[in-house]
Amino acid sequence: MSIYNVGVSGYNAYLIQAEKNVLIDTVPFEYAGELKKNIGEYISVEELDYIVINHTSYERCSSLCELLKIKPDVAVISTVSGLKNIHEQLNGDFNELLAKSNMTLRLDTNNTLKFFITHNIDWPDSMMTYMDGILFSCDAFSDEGKGIEGYYIENLSHMSDFVYSAMCFLETVDIAKILPASGEEISDCKGAIKLYKELSEPYDGDNRKVSVIYYSKTGNTEKLAKRCEQFGISIYNVADYSKKELLDVIYKSRGVIFATPTHNRNIPFEMASLLMSINHFKITDKLFASFGSYGWSGEAPNLVYSILRARHFETYSSPFRYLFSADEFSLSEFDKFIKAFYEKIINI
């Protein structure tokens, strides 16, 4: 049995040459010609018995159609959602083989593939393939020029719950070498799994925390944001934190209030960009609210609610809005709004 990396341009694809020949993952469509050439260094594409698709993203799967033109009856192995995605991508039938958790596939007397279903690392379809101490981990432990930690933070951190449970499982598996979909092979497998486990560890802190995240250009929204501190609420000015830090605040809070003025009948970019980056996997038990100063039309706090509701997040009552600098009446109404929101959170 031999294993060759037949990938192209940093996109790894692995050929296992045994009594049954297997290709693990493919490369982006534009590199299909080079992939075929690389396979051809060892066997002809017609000699492939199986193609394992660990993940159906463009980078990993889009050359499959070119291989099927040469070997239409090769068995394509993927998860339930992987096979469904391939159907939608090819718009045609193929010889499919469903990978189930811990299912094995014998290649010859000494070599057997095993499939680990690891949904959401990083699509619902994802799985890993294992053979005698070697883990074909697909996008887990990938590099893409960012280092494995950088790749995790950018591409997988929003899936941390799924990563964490996959790592707990992988700790129980005997792994001598990891062959990821991008980057060098990894021999310090325990170290890589430990790193991913630390990065994805679930937050176990104060689950009653309430935070106000605010943007304010001329101080009117900031004035009321600062007023929230008297209720024990933490406040964060978007100008003072990175998006990653603010997302972390959101994920670690039970109640989150977005405070924003209206600019050009819209949400200012700094706030909109943060809202668009919230990941739904992290938002199962949170309550959101919004307030903000405005001059004449005041759409922003309402838009915050619309976006959150469209994404099925729970919002509190109606947004609180006030003209320019809040007067005494607005201040007392605001205090009632914040107090009621805070009490709702701590009494959940």
C-alpha dihedral over 48, 54, 55, 61, to 10 degrees? -10
Report the side by side order of strands in the sheet with 134-138: 104-106, 112-117, 127-131, 134-138, 177-180
Site of tokens 């591409």: 155
Nearer to ligand FMN, 102 or 297 (CB): 297
Q: Which of 62, 160, 262, 290 binds ligand FMN (CB under 6 A)?
A: 262
Judged by CB under 6 A, does residue 12 bind ligand FMN?
Answer: no
Minimum gap (Å) between residue 262 Cβ and ligand FMN: 4
277 binds ligand FMN (CB under 6 A): no
Q: How far is the CB of 327 from ligand FMN (least distance, A)?
A: 13
301 binds ligand FMN (CB under 6 A): no
Provide the token pair at 189: 């497998």
Q: Give the CA angle between residues 24, 45, 71 to the nearest 5°.
A: 95
Q: Which stretch binds ligand FMN (CB under 6 A): 21-29, 36-44, 129-137, 292-300?
A: 292-300
261 touches ligand FMN by CB under 6 A: yes
Contact region for ligand FMN (CB under 6 A) — 77-85, 138-146, 220-228, 333-341? 220-228
Nearest to 67 by CA among 40, 42, 85: 40
Distance of CA 161 to the CA centre of its chain: 10
d(CA 283, CA 250): 9
Q: How many residues make contact with ligand FMN (CB under 6 A)?
A: 19
**Residue from 315, 321, 251 nearest 282 by CA:** 251
Q: Which is nearest to 108 in space by CA: 163, 155, 49? A: 49
Should residue 111 be labelled a site residue for ligand FMN when binding is judged by CB under 6 A? no
265 touching ligand FMN, by CB under 6 A: yes
**Phi, psi (degrees; rounded to nearest 5) at 95:** -85, 95
* DSSP calls for 105-140: EESSSS-EEEEEE-TTSSSTT-EEEEETTEEEEETT
89 vs 302, beta carbon nearer ligand FMN: 302
Under the binding rule (CB under 6 A), the answer on residue 240 touching ligand FMN is no
- Return the closest-CA partner of residue 225 out of 217, 155, 233, 266: 233
Q: In this chain, which of 293, 320, 334, 341 binds ligand FMN, going by CB under 6 A?
A: 293
Sign of the CA dihedral with 261 first, then 265, 270, and 274 last: positive
Contact region with ligand FMN (CB under 6 A), list: 116-124, 161-169, 212-220, 234-242 = 212-220
Kindly state whether residue 218 participates in binding ligand FMN, applying the rule CB under 6 A. Answer: yes
Considering the rule CB under 6 A, would residue 263 count as an interface residue with ligand FMN? Answer: yes
Is residue 280 near ligand FMN by the rule CB under 6 A?
A: no
Nearer to ligand FMN, 27 or 326 (CB): 326
Instruction: Tell which positions 308-337 bind ligand FMN, by CB under 6 A.
Output: 324
Which residues here bind ligand FMN, judged by CB under 6 A? 216-222, 261-265, 293-298, 324
